Structure 1
Amino acid sequence: MIRRAAALFPGMGWRELAGAQDGLITRAQLRAHGIDNDAVRHRIATERWVARSATVIGTTTGGLTRAQLMRLGVLHAGAPAIIGDLSAAELSGLRSWHREEITVLVPQGSDVGQPLAGIRFVETRRSLAAMRDPARRLPTCRLEPAILHFAAYQHSPRTAEGVVAAAVQQGLTTPDRLAAWIPRMRPLRWARMFRETLSEIADGAQSVAELDVLHLCHAFGLATPRRQTMRHGTDGRARYTDCEWSLPDGRTLILEVDGAFHMEVAHWEADLARQRALAAPDRIQIRCTSRELRDSPDRIARDLRLLGVPRAV
């Protein structure tokens, strides 16, 4: 730990080192700078410092910020621990997948001592050095392995697919970059599913709901739809439809998938206005919920067949 700190922060005194570490410093780092345990105890007793863990001292008082909580996790665990999973993805800008608890990846068999509030230490046999993002001063997992590592340990395949799709949809990475990490993380639970999901995303699927529609079509032998088709409504605005099929009679069937947020009045009214704007004599518009896609795909497949969606060729 001391050698690592010296390499990262050459020539720094303990004050500068603590400042570079969000106001935190380890007891080992303090000893390396000539601050012994008696001096540490005195500063804690006089309420100038705070013992944040058995090994980490806070040089500021008050509650920890989120950045400090992340720093505390990796300092307490020591090298080569890194911020991982959704906590690392959060630092890369992933939205709508926030988890309050910080995840820190540590080598298999690590002894991190007593639990720390707000921090979850996850053991792994994978090379943390290989997964670490060299562009960040805070030891952090690269986005792609962070997403795949989190996804692989979910109980629900839909959640696993959803976070992979979200990372691509939000422009944080690409299907190719995620796919390149799958063999590097072998063995990886659901690797085959991830490859298939990424192939579908690369082919145009934008969300987990669209992936659910594709799974439905494959399972019930229906033609796959066009996704995210741009259409101009009666008000002249460009809009993108979720899924479309060309029917044998020349008309177009549009399926829009509503998530939970569509139940809010403002979203519901906006969706009604959108549906009116896209209405045309040669278009049939229907809607379903993401819950229906998940729980009753057979009923939706039956309705699609009755409306004329052709079978897969």
Structure 2
Amino acid sequence: MDSWRALADQQAGVLSWRQLAELGVSRGVIRHKLASERWRRRTESVLTTTTGPLSPEQERWVAVLHCGPDAMLGGLTALAVHGLTGWTRDEVTVIVANPDSFQHVDGIRPFRTRRPLERLRGPGALPCCRVEPAALLWAAHERNPRSAAGLLAAVVQQRLTNATSLLTWVDALRPLRRAADFRALLRDIEGGSESLGEVDVVRMCRAYGLALPARQRARTDRSGRRRYTDCEWDLPDGRTLVLEVDGAFHLEVGQYTEDVRRQRGLTRPDRIVVRATTDELRREPWVVAGDLVALGVPRAPDAAAG
């Protein structure tokens, strides 16, 4: 009767009826535990040895056990397990081979794939997709291409993987929607861009014939704090022009104050710091390019020759 305890400890107190049957726990024992309110049924095929609200870890275990023995966490859920921040969703995404093999449950989003599941699965007790296929499959099926690109930039920026590994998986997951777009994006990230805004700057420079910037240069501000700038150009007159790219979260009052302080601390007589928004770079890149040229950013060698 106690054969379930070790497994329950490993799975945050979540067990499936199938697992209990394999351990030899009778249905009578299970019904007694439920009737005495020591255990609680969470779905038709999953129960918990705790009766209170589910923790995030328990929610993930319930979802993956409900969807069958081969299922694994995928999409943003898997990436959150791997440490991704800033991309929270309430629903739990589970990669499955056959979404019709279990009952629908609110809050669980099955994602069907015909790819061999074992190739996608990462290490660990909690069945979870590897970072690279989790990110690429989510991005391939995300309706907003901008969000898709933003996620791939985020997993690299947050050091969950690198652009080279993602490029390898683009080929491994063939056929993959948006594969050509992903390759172009990841090559830009591989070249030094850490955010989608930096990628936008590089693409603007190519489109309007500007020299490509250095990205993520380490600088020390006047307070002695180490900073990494988004984009920099060494100008012909010996000065340096720094372009900081602001996403939507930079509009928050606290972040705006930090950005202003950062800009002031990095500015010196030989270093100019200016800013642009991701919205400008996306909607009016020619305006930003013109301002950069006016500030001294040189033309790309091939553009100057032409």
TM over 0.5: yes
Counterpart position of 1:303:
291
Specify which of 61, 79, 83 is matched with residue 73 of structure 2: 83
Q: For this pair of structures, how many residues does the alignment match?
A: 300
- What residue in structure 1 maps to residue 109 of structure 2? 120
- Distance of aligned partners of 1:132 and 1:220 in 2 relative to their CA distance in 1, 3 Å threshold: same
Q: Please, which of 2, 6, 15 is the counterpart of residue 16 of structure 1?
A: 6
Stretch of structure 1 that moved more, 246-255 or 285-294: 246-255
Which whole-Å deviations, capped at 9, do the CAs of 1:116-136 have from their partners, x for residues lacking one? 232111111111111111x21
For 2:227, the aligned partner's letter is R
Structure 1 unaligned segments of length 5 or more: list them.
1-11
| Counterpart in the other structure of 1:227 | 215
2:64 to 60, 74, 99: 74
2:162 aligns with: 174
CA distance in 1, matches of 2:181, 2:69: 33
- Structure 1 residue 210: deviation in Å? 0.5
Is 1:141 the equivalent of 2:138? no
Give 1:85-104 correspondences, 5 Å limit.
85-104=75-94
* TM-aligned CA deviation for residue 39 of structure 1: 4.1
Shift of 1:213: 0.9
Q: Does 1:288 align with 2:276?
A: yes
Residue in 2 that maps onto 1:257: 245
The structure-2 alpha-carbon separation of the partners of 1:73 and 1:246, relative to structure 1 and needing over 3 Å to count, comes to same
Structural mapping, 1:183-262, within 5 Å = 183-262=171-250
Q: 1:253 to 1:54 in 2, by over 3 A?
A: same
RMSD: 2.2
Shift of 1:222: 2.2
SS where residue 241 of structure 2 aligns?
A: strand
Task: Give CA-to-partner distance per residue, 1:66-117, whole Å, 9 cap, x none.
Answer: 111111112111121111111111111112122221110001x432433223
Partners of 2:266 and 2:24 in 1: how far apart? Answer: 72
Query: Structure 1 residues 288 and 279 mapped into 2: Cα distance closer, same or farther (>3 Å)?
Result: same
**Equivalent residue for 2:119, pick from 130, 134, 141:** 130
1:160 is displaced (CA, Å) by 1.8
**Structure 2 residue 51 is the aligned partner of structure 1 residue 51:** no
Return the offset for 1:248: 4.4
**Offset at 1:156?**
2.4
Q: Using structure 2 for the length normalisation, give the TM-score.
A: 0.88
Cα separation, 2, equivalents of 1:42 and 1:144: 44
Give the structure-1-normalised TM-score. Answer: 0.86
- Cα distance change, pair 77–234 in 1 and its aligned pair in 2 (3 A): closer
Contact residue 69 and residue 119 of structure 1 kept, 8 A = no
